[in-house]
Structure 1
Amino acid sequence: MPPTLILIRHAQALHNTDRALHAVPDPPLTDLGRAQAVELREHLKAHLPAGRMVQRIVVSPMRRAVQTCLIALDWLIEGGVPIVPDARWQELYPKPCDTGTPASALAKEFPMIDFTGLDPVYPDKTSPAGAAYAYDKQAVLARGQDALRELYGRDEDVVVVVSHSGFLRTCVAGKWFGNADYRGFEFEEREGDGEGNFRLVEIEETRGKGGMGKSKEGEVTLGEGLDGIP
């Protein structure tokens, strides 16, 4: 049986405060973002669905996602739950704020995390080598499916993922995510030979405005808003 997924959007980062700051490469959390991550931590400790069965944490290698993970999920990490950085969960866009930091630098900044398994092409998403991460409709939708396929085949009870609003909304979940908010999902049952797209069904506890109540309501068709890109 595939795991339950708890999908978290990172807390407020520098570029979320001013569009002019989209030019800042891989921006960190703001002071407010750190406070949001602490608030999320306390909420999750009390209310995370199936929280006692979390056996894996997957995190986008982008700085704001890693920082959110280390603050909000420290209680799971201290309990021995492994952290797995995965380039598939990075944000969509090629802007500086949505382009990551090389693994060698991340390893120095976050020595408590093992980045050796990170795709060596990261953070490239513009050259032919980084084509799987390109800002291209077909590529980003395929990346979303690849990310879900990898988790579908795992045997953990619950996997927590820390990622980004654009990728979660348009390529994975079809739902809105506010900063430092989360939603829980089960995989839709796959019939017959199991071919076709992987789809998620949100659990009752987070439907509407998300687990923290900070997210916009409503459904989003996967791929919506991506028709204007190549």
Structure 2
Amino acid sequence: MSPTIVLIRHAQALHNETNKFPPHPHISHQKLEKLTSYLPPQDHSIPDPRLTDHGIQQCSQLRYNLFQRFSSFEGRIAVIASPMVRTLQTASLATDWLVERGVKIEADADWQEQKSHRKKKKTAELSAKPCDTGSPLSLLPLIKDNQTKHQFSSPCYDFSAIPPVWPDKTEDPLAKSLFGYTRTAVLRRGRRCLEKLSKRPEDLIFVFSHAAFLRSGVSAWWYHNADYRIFTLHEELELKIDESTLEGGMGWSWNKRAELGSEVPEDVTDDEIQEDKN
């Protein structure tokens, strides 16, 4: 039987605090972009940003929605999250009702963000912006979250699958191969994510990830903060969307397709990367 996959974008975090306009049926994508252009620019210099107060509120709404929709599900359930603070927070707040049942939040570095936000340089520094780079696992238990009071040292989190190269993306050759910001690397990572999901025994899998990677590397759909889409995973790793989530399960996302790999730079050589940095 094909598993049900719920792909969820994290709630609003400090680096995208200007994301305050969810899609509206009577406002075009172009008009909304014009409206948001008057807001302060997003701050991508914040290291591994946590959720904003508004993001915490979004998590409460998301939790209510997911609980209403899935609390009676009787099959096996898994929760997977990118090991970045904002995704771990969103997962713990939105699925605490599953954690209470003994479901662990499994951190998987393959679901981390890809986006560099650097448009002028062709190599985009391989997505090493602070907001898109996670915290070392040794530091996570030391991060005091004044908003959620959650401790990442809690046994409800499972970090056992995180590779030793984490959170590096740009220096170690293995890190560049696994998490590099090139079309080949991103698409390969997206396929690797789906392959791992296809081999899992659970019937329902919640995945907390990031907008750019979900859009460009995995599903080719847009996601607003704290919104989700439901898919069934078929043979050949084909994702088929549940049409009730065409505008997101929360109704906050664009009913708009994207193209896998379209926002990711073409593959480049190490010499080109070094030249671009200089």
TM-score normalised to structure 1 length: 0.91
1:38-117 equivalences under 5 Å are 38-48=60-70, 51-53=73-75, 55-93=77-115, 94=127, 95-109=129-143, 110-112=152-154, 113-117=157-161
What is the CA-CA distance between 1:227 and the residue it aligns to? 4.0
What is the CA-CA distance between 1:212 and the residue it aligns to? 0.1
Structure 2 runs not aligned, ≥5 long:
18-39, 116-126, 144-151, 269-278
For the residue of structure 1 that corresponds to 2:43, the secondary structure is: helix
* Rg larger for: 2
For the residue of structure 1 that corresponds to 2:44, the secondary structure is: helix
| Mapped partners of 1:223, 1:146: distance in 2 | 15
| Mapped partners of 1:119, 1:214: distance in 2 | 34
Conserved? CA contact 1:9–1:164, under 8 Å: yes
1:152 paired with 2:191, answer: no
Conserved? CA contact 1:10–1:65, under 8 Å: yes
What is the CA-CA distance between 1:78 and the residue it aligns to? 0.8
The change in CA–CA distance for 1:229 and 1:33 in structure 2 (over 3 A counts) is farther
1:11 paired with 2:11, answer: yes
Residue deviations 1:42-99 (CA, integer Å, cap 9, x gap):
1111124974435110000010000000101100111111211000000003211000
Which residue is equivalent to 1:226? 264
211, 221, 228: which one aligns with 2:249? 211
Q: Which runs of 4+ in 1 moved over 6 A?
A: none
For the residue of structure 2 that corresponds to 1:19, the secondary structure is: coil
For the residue of structure 1 that corresponds to 2:8, the secondary structure is: strand
Conserved? CA contact 1:107–1:115, under 8 Å: no
For the residue of structure 2 that corresponds to 1:23, the secondary structure is: coil
For the residue of structure 2 that corresponds to 1:32, the secondary structure is: helix
Conserved? CA contact 2:104–2:158, under 8 Å: no
The change in CA–CA distance for 1:57 and 1:205 in structure 2 (over 3 A counts) is same
1:129 paired with 2:174, answer: yes
| Mapped partners of 1:152, 1:220: distance in 2 | 23
31, 37, 46: which one aligns with 2:53? 31
What is the CA-CA distance between 1:140 and the residue it aligns to? 0.7
1:182-193 equivalences under 5 Å are 182-190=228-236
Which residue is equivalent to 2:226? 180
| Mapped partners of 2:113, 2:72: distance in 1 | 27
The change in CA–CA distance for 1:49 and 1:146 in structure 2 (over 3 A counts) is farther
One-letter amino acid matched to 2:175: G
One-letter amino acid matched to 1:111: S
One-letter amino acid matched to 1:130: A
Conserved? CA contact 2:181–2:265, under 8 Å: no
| Mapped partners of 2:158, 2:41: distance in 1 | 32
User: Comparing 16-25 with 42-51, which one deviates more in the overlay?
Assistant: 42-51
What is the CA-CA distance between 1:213 and the residue it aligns to? 0.3
Structure 1 runs not aligned, ≥5 long:
191-197
What RMSD over aligned residues (CA atoms) do the two structures have, in Å?
1.7
Conserved? CA contact 1:61–1:85, under 8 Å: yes
Q: Percent identity?
A: 45
Which residue is equivalent to 2:241? 202
TM-score normalised to structure 2 length: 0.76
